[in-house]
Each structure stands twice: as C-alpha cells, then as structure tokens.
Structure 1
C-alpha cells in the first residue's frame, strides 16, 4: 500500500476509491507479508469490513465522513481496542478482550479510520525491542536476522512494509522513536498530555497495563510527516479521564512553516553517549544539508539510565505485577524491574534527578528552540541480543544504544525521529527532533523541512 493516509481519505471521500477496496488491499498486503515479519498480533478484518461498508454507504448517500475515512490503521498491542484481543504482550492477559477503546482509538474510529488489528510489542512496553512471551518476535523489514527496535516494533514494521499507512505506538522512553529510526519511518511523540490515555496506563485493575503513567505518550508512526499531522489533528485534545491531558487549541497541526529566526541546536552525543561512526556520519550530513543555521551545543549532561530505570519502577505496580509473576512467566526486562530490591532512596533520588534534568533542559532551551540528536546510537542489530555487542568499537552494555530518547519523556517535550538516510550496509538512520515545551507544531514543521531537504515525499 503506497498511498498516504491523506490520499486515501481524500479519495474515499470523493468516491474515487471505496473504503472496502482500500481495506482489501491492506488485508492482502498483511496476509502476504506478515507470516514472516510477525508485526501483527491479532487482526480484525471482519470488524473493519463492516465499518468500511458503512463509510462507503455514507459517501454514496452524500453524508459527511471523517478526515481519516477508509484509512487502515494498526494499533500497538498495549493500547486497548474494543472487541479485539489486546494482550500487552503478557501471558497474564493473553485472552483479554477490552470492552472499550483507548481514547486515541475511539477518536480514530470516529474519524473514519479502519482498525485492522493490534501490533507486536515488548511485554508491557518494558525493553527497547519487540519481544514478549505471547507472540513470535517481530523482525526487521529488511533483514529477519535483525531487530526492528521497540517497544512499538510491530507498528513500525507494519508501516515500513506498507501493510498500513498509519500505526499507533506508545512511547515511555523512546518506544515510538527507536523503532521508527531503525525501520526508516517517521514517528512522533507529542508533548505530554496532547493525546489522552485511558484506560491505558490509568486503569488500576490491570497490573502492568497500568504502568508508565507519568512517562507514557501515544503517537503515530507513518511514512510522511503530513500523515502524522493528520492523525494528531484527530487524536489530540483533553479528556476528563486523563488528568494529564491538555487543550490543544494552540496548535495548527497543518501549518508547516518554520518560525522566523528558529534557533536550532545539534548535539551528536549529549556529552556522554557513544555513537556508531556510520550513524554519526549520516546524521552529521543530514544536519549539514538542512540549509538552515545550526549551532553545535555540548550540554555535557549525565547518563540518565539509572534515573530512568528507577522512575519506571516508581510507575510500576510492583505488588500487583509480582503477584502476576507468581502465576505466569514474565519476560526478562519485566523481571529485572520486579526482582530488584528498590529502596525509597532509589526512587526519591530519581525524582530529584528528574527535576534536575528538566531544569537543565529548560536552561538549554533558553538558548535554542529545537535540539537535534541522533535518534539511536546504532542501526538495527542481531535480534537475539539485548543490545549490540560493540558500540563505536568497544564492548557495550545492553541498554547503552538508546541514550537520546528518555530525556524527552522526563521533560514531556515533543520529539520525533525523522528518517535521514542509510549506512553503507543499507540500514536506516533517524534524526531526533526535540521541540520546546508544548512545541509540537515546531517539531512537525522542522520534520517536514528535513523530509523535503532529503527529497522525500513532501505531501
């Protein structure tokens, strides 16, 4: 499926395409490819077909249809989908069929999108790959020996291979941006509160599913920036069920003009990260090719992995999940959180360090408007490993390859991964764009500029 979401919706509204035809093409592509890729967990073609027929009937009758009319959409298996098995990648919920949609899914349906199924992810989102005990692991779209990254692995692969033009992901520490970078698609985590979450992260009845509340964001993975903006125009806006949600009247999602005098900063390593030389070369070239003034910044920030890990534990229902672990086998990343003897000092120190990180970022953002970094330190690597064995020629710790993502979750700032090229080995590289507080429009506008600078589709 090569058409963009915007093209599909316009064609369906105008009668040039039927929603039933679009769904059939998406289904054929999924059935052709997914047996080897394992991007999908559960498909929902029959339910989508009923909705597609309704949309076509509305078009024939001259009744209005939504801005995403007839667009096939996949939803990460951590995001509840009404009437469709949604497991969170856990044996504890392998048969769970939610009786309600998450807010974003509810809004997609109301806009005419066709939810074709759920996509593979790490168990409860713990871990930057897509492995879980319930489904076979998702593999990279270009080489099945490699990881697509995670935790929104299936969503990235479904978009990268044209099975759907849009997929929802969730991002508590990079889980949209990391697989977007490794698979060569666009992925954006909007500012905290732009997209409400409920019941995901909010329903205390479901340990594991209720984790990550103050870190998690929902956002789209797409092949074009314009499609991401279209989706965000539909799924953003406050909802009383999410205490973090905020009004979005300050954002024109379709305005892609760059602000006059935009101050762009670029840091290749944030002062502490090791980056693969091939990745660094691609990102450096992309930044140099923007045709915009860019200031190199050296924030010299500390490595925040320990702080982030402790905050994840703080956001985890340790009691409830430990009880789950007595009934079913849990994945290694989940067990690592549950088995550690956390102290109150570990958690309160992390809260303090988060405040310090937010303050450091705020001071930097008085000097620049946008911060550019690599989206990940490496390209896709052996999917049987927790991380690359080597990083910049030296042995690497398993979680050392994702040093750029979590900061935007700690601060709540909008951030995106934009595909900017490939290494000599033919593997995609992403450039991360971190915007100012509530600066979603700036992130989208600069992302679109980068897209155009590379000569990619600028629809």
Structure 2
C-alpha cells in the first residue's frame, strides 16, 4: 500500500490509483471498513454494511491482474442511501414497515454502479421514506454531524452526507425530493448535486406501485451524488445518467459533456444572486458567507447581478404535491396491518383531509412557478442562493425556532431548496466557508433547464475560489 491513506484521495484520484496498481481494491475497501469501525460508532452514517464488499473488491483485483477490462469506478467504495434498493441487501427506507425488507433487484443506479465495478460498501441512514430534512427514524440511531456530533447532519440523505464528510467513502448516493442531497451537503461541508429531473432514471424508487411509501414523490424525486468536489460528481453522473425503459420520465444524456469548463470559459456567464429570494430569513453568519462568495465571484465573472425570481415561498406547494404523490391509502393500510404508528410530516400528510381542489390548485401553482423560473432563467445562466438558511443545529428538532432573532416555523431553514425540485432544474451545494463555530456553510447554484454541465463547471470555479482547508476529525491513519 502507498504511504498515504487511500481515503485522502478524492474519487477521481482514487480510481486512477487503483487502475495504476498503487492500491489494490481490497486494500481500499479494508481501509474504508476500518474507518467506518473507527468513526461510525459516534456518527451512525451507515445502517447496513454489505458483507460481500471484500469479495467484490477481490473480483476487481483479479480482473485487473489478468489484464481484463474493468469499469470506470473499478475498486472504489461507494455508499448508497437506504431509500435506494439494493438487491439482496437489506433496504428499510428508514421505516419499521420495511424493517426486514430485502429487495429482489437493484435500483437502476445501483445496477450502473455495479456495472462500473464500484464496490457497494453498504447503506446509509435516512429519514423515514425521505419525509424530513433531518435523518431521524425509528429503525436506526440518528445520524450525527461529523463536525459536531451534537448537531444534525441534515437530511433526508443524512448518512450519505456524513459518510463523505467523515471520509469513510469518496462517493455516496442520495435522493433529493425537496433538497435532500443539497441540505446534508451544505451542513456537512461536502459537494452535493441534484441533476436535472430525468437525467438519472429511478426504478423501483418512486415508480413501483407495490411498495407504499417508497413509491412516492414521483415528479419531485432525483438521485444525485455526494462527493468531495464537482469533478467527482461529474464522474459519478457520467456513470449514472442515460435513459431507462423503466422510467418514462428519463431523458437522453448525449447532450451533456461531463468534462468541466475552465475558468476562462465561465467569465462571460450571467449570474443572478439573492440572499433571501425576496422573503426568507437567513442566519447572519450564513448571509455573510454568501456575500463573501458573491464578492469573490464578482472578481472573476463579468456579470453578477442582485436579482431574484418572482416565485415567493414554495413550502405549502411542496407539502401539497408530496401529499398528492404519496400512496396514502397503501401506507395507512400497511401501518394498520402491522400496528405501526407513523409520525412527523408523514403522519400529518396521512391524517389531513385533502380534496381535489387543493391538488388542482397546487398543480396550477407549480406551473406558475415553473413558467416564472423559465422566464427568469432566460435572462440569467445561474441563480445563486444560500443552500440552507442556517448552519447545523442540535439533533432532536426539525429546525431552529428562530432565525436572525425572529421566530420561524421549523422548516424555514430549508426554504431555498424546493424550487429546483418543483422546476426540475439542476442545482448543487458547494462549500464556501464556516461559521465562527467552525460549521460548514454551502452555496446553492441553480442552472438553466438541462444545463448540468454548467452547474458543475460553476461549482468547480467556486471551489477554486474556496479551496478546502480542513476536514472533521479524527485524522486518517
């Protein structure tokens, strides 16, 4: 093995090191498993480990030693959110309703990871069915933030964000129906990308009517990578993207170039920036980090203008659309049959009396929001906001009771993320600083329809302006 830990390398560097023989795949997997054993007792990022991981790695090593062709992620350990099906490996969706469920098949994205010879290390903890912006559920201990274990790592892809931040793996998959990739990326200080809707096909997730709860969020959900940087996310997406006959919403990917544009090519882009979307409260330290990021961008990009789209708050809209796309009948019946009490946001959705007029009004409002964003993005290439309105907060609550000294509902801290889900636009969170307590702050970059490459390229530019200078402990051995 090389003198440095393979976990010091990002995804792109690590796959090259394995291909060049500087590490064996088995060495890398054993190092990741050792790291998990060392740090995850406090963090609870992983909820299930795959006992076949070493055997997967040995198969890659055997083919490499024989000179056989291997995939683009050969030997790289990857974590998969527990809302994403893994054939033969326990997948609970964070719910007691599926506590012992073992899927018969992989999700499409897992199939593609395996085809690229990535090593599926295990499943990462998540909020129940993704109904929540933090990572708590009643099956596993709550995931904790690697920067401060008294605080939340965000959600619902809580474990995926913590696993990458704590350097257990260089790549983890999350799902994002209202910010669930970008929120933990922001709070954990890693890169998180929600690609354009349809870029990454979903099945069985959101599409299989046999599984109430898992089959929800059909027009909102995206699967995306959490990584250390934008280039690694581009590499992951180059493996994950392309249409599937199992997802009628999936779209071609031939129009995407996964090679990122350089700084000079980005100088002429037009960027709109808004600290509050015209209505939101933002923690002063988060706002200061956002302003600093904008100021640095203005030294590189020709056109950065303070302006926001006329969309207003989308919280109630998201809530109603989630209810519309939830199998309320199936979940109620399943919970009653098993004697399981559901709680939180999910219980509220199941217990409220909804009517067709509410759902119709929500569909019309979504069209208004999408059209307003289309007009706005005709003027700009990118829209920048804070990724979250606050940094991480204590575990045990759904959100801060106050922001900037004013009382707010618990969901107010996530106000910036749903817009990209309602419109299907690509969006990412990229780290741009820290609070005085050393907690990460993320910048959200939203791009034009299908401009995934643009979001990744601008993210790389921001990373150039804010080079990473720290990781949460403990240090790698």
Aligned to 1:266: 273
SS at match of 1:53: helix
Counterpart residue number, 1:18:
24
Q: How does 1:14-413 map to 2 (within 5 A)?
A: 14-44=20-50, 46-257=51-262, 258-259=265-266, 261-290=268-297, 291-292=300-301, 293-326=303-336, 327=338, 328-413=340-425
CA contact (8 A) 1:268 1:373 kept: yes
How far apart, CA to CA, are the structure 1 residues paired with 2:458 and 2:39?
33
Quote how far apart the aligned CAs of 1:65 are. 1.1
Encode CA deviations 1:236-272: one digit per residue, 9 max, x unaligned.
Answer: 0000000010110011112333456211110111111
CA contact (8 A) 1:237 1:245 kept: yes
Please give the alpha-carbon distance, in whole angstroms, between the structure 1 residues aligned to 2:58 and 2:282.
49
- SS in structure 2 at match of 1:431: strand
Render the CA deviation track for 1:36-75: whole Å, top value 9, x for unaligned.
Answer: 111011001x311111111101111111111101110000
Partner Cα separation in structure 2 for residue 352 and residue 94 of structure 1: 37
Post-superposition Cα deviations, 1:301-329, rounded to whole Å, max 9, x if no partner, equal: 32111111000001100100111232212
Task: State the TM-score, normalized to the length of structure 2.
Answer: 0.94
CA distance in 2, matches of 1:33, 1:330: 31
Structure 2: runs of 5 or more not aligned: 1-6, 470-477
Tell me how far 1:300 sits from its aligned partner. 4.1
Structure 1 position 163, deviation (Å) = 0.5
CA contact (8 A) 1:123 1:331 kept: no
Provide Cα deviations, 1:398-438, integer angstroms capped at 9, x if missing partner: 11111111010000000000000001111110000000000
Q: 2:445 aligns with which of 425, 433, 440?
A: 433
Supply the RMSD in Å over aligned alpha carbons. 1.1
CA distance in 1, matches of 2:57, 2:211: 32
Q: Match for 2:431 among 408, 414, 419?
A: 419
State the number of aligned residues.
456
Tell me how far 1:366 sits from its aligned partner: 1.2
User: Shift of residue 34 of structure 1?
Assistant: 0.7
Aligned-partner SS, 1:159: helix
| Structure 1 unpaired stretches of 5+ | none
Structure 1: distance between partners of 2:239 and 2:311:
36
Q: Distance in 2 between matches of 1:145 and 1:209?
A: 29
